[in-house]
Amino acid sequence: MTTRARISGSADAVIRLSTRPADAGSTRRRPVDGFSRGSARDTSRGGGLFTRAMDGPATRSLRALVVAVACLLALALAGGCASDSGNGDVVDQGYQSGDGSIRTWSPAERGQAVRLHGTDFAGAPVDTGAWAGDVVVVNTWYAACPPCRKEAPGLVEVAAQYEGKAHLVGLNSTDDAGAAAAFQRTFSVTYPSIQDSDGSVTSALQGVVPIQAVPTTIVLDTQGRVAARVLGEASQATLATLIDDVLAEAAG
């Protein structure tokens, strides 16, 4: 099946659908048993009520549960503070983090060729069809995404290392031109990014290969087919290995 994604002011982006992401499971919680306290009348003092906690198995179980929950909460809070402190002045705007998992497809498993085209943030045309016969690496990102910022220097190095053999292109459906330009200046990004303001290119690409996190990096082989995908931050070494593998296929 063929999906057309329109970029404002450009031609359709033509992508063929082949796979869909799997449905997520569901989890149900079991309620914790309640604890009741007993009441008795103090006849020795002339009446009135007093409340006495029952020091039985239920009480001891509840106490143990409270202690365990308190410990878990303390550990969670400590972990959260450690995680936040590493972000510096970068604002986390709710990115969906990936786990860095890598999926590859053998040549026999790959679907139809993928071609993405639109305009960059300066209005210049970007068309992966112009790189036919070369490896293409597509990276989804946005400026305030912490792992996107962390992986950016490595992507710049990969682009320089494989110049003439592989091409990098970003795909950004979040930022305006100012935010994107600031990011590109900060990290000296030389490769182009498609401005996907309406999300049509990202949505169409999602029909070909699941994009379940930002960043996601996709490697297209020399025929434009999806050969590999990294969910989450992609290291320079990982990308170099994936590109080398695809180049070796073409050479062999």
Contacts of 92 (CB under 8 A, 6+ apart): 144, 145, 146
Whether the Cβ atoms of residue 160 and residue 240 lie closer than 8 Å to each other? no
Whether the Cβ atoms of residue 17 and residue 3 lie closer than 8 Å to each other? yes
pLDDT, tens digit, 9 for 90 and up, residues 201-233: 998 898 899 998 999 999 999 999 999 999 999
**Residue 50 pLDDT greater than 90, yes or no:** no
Residues 246, 235: Cα–Cα separation, whole Å? 17
Residues 107, 92: Cα–Cα separation, whole Å? 37
Give the residue-averaged pLDDT of 41-56: 39
Three-state SS annotation for 133-199: CCEEEEEECCCCCHHHHHHHHHHHHHHHHCCCCEEEEEEECCCCHHHHHHHHHHCCCCCCEEECCCC
Whether the Cβ atoms of residue 250 and residue 132 lie closer than 8 Å to each other? no
Q: What is the pTM of this model?
A: 0.64
The number of CA neighbours under 13 Å toward the Cβ of 91 is: 3
Task: Give the pLDDT band of residue 252 (cuts 50, 70, 90).
Answer: confident
pLDDT of residue 57: 54
**Residue 154 pLDDT greater than 90, yes or no:** yes
pLDDT of residue 156: 98
pLDDT, tens digit, 9 for 90 and up, residues 57-75: 555 555 656 555 554 554 4
Name the residue type at position 59: T
**Residue 54 pLDDT greater than 60, yes or no:** no
Give the residue-averaged pLDDT of 149-167: 97
> Chain-wide mean pLDDT for the chain?
75
Backbone phi and psi for residue 191, each to the nearest 5 degrees, phi listed first: -85, 155
Residues 132, 135: Cα–Cα separation, whole Å? 8
Task: Give the pLDDT band of residue 103 (cuts 50, 70, 90).
Answer: very high
Residues 236, 157: Cα–Cα separation, whole Å? 7
25-39, 81-95, 136-150, 204-218 — which one is most confidently predicted on average? 136-150
pLDDT of residue 100: 84
pLDDT of residue 212: 85
Between the CA atoms of 185, 100, 243 and 194, what dihedral angle is there, to the nearest 10 degrees? Answer: -40
Under DSSP, the state recorded for 121 is T
pLDDT of residue 207: 86
List beta partners, residue 167: 136
Task: Give the pLDDT band of residue 99 (cuts 50, 70, 90).
Answer: confident
List beta partners, residue 226: 220
pLDDT of residue 62: 58
**Residue 49 pLDDT greater than 50, yes or no:** no
Task: Give the pLDDT band of residue 195 (cuts 50, 70, 90).
Answer: very high
pLDDT, tens digit, 9 for 90 and up, residues 105-121: 999 999 999 999 999 99
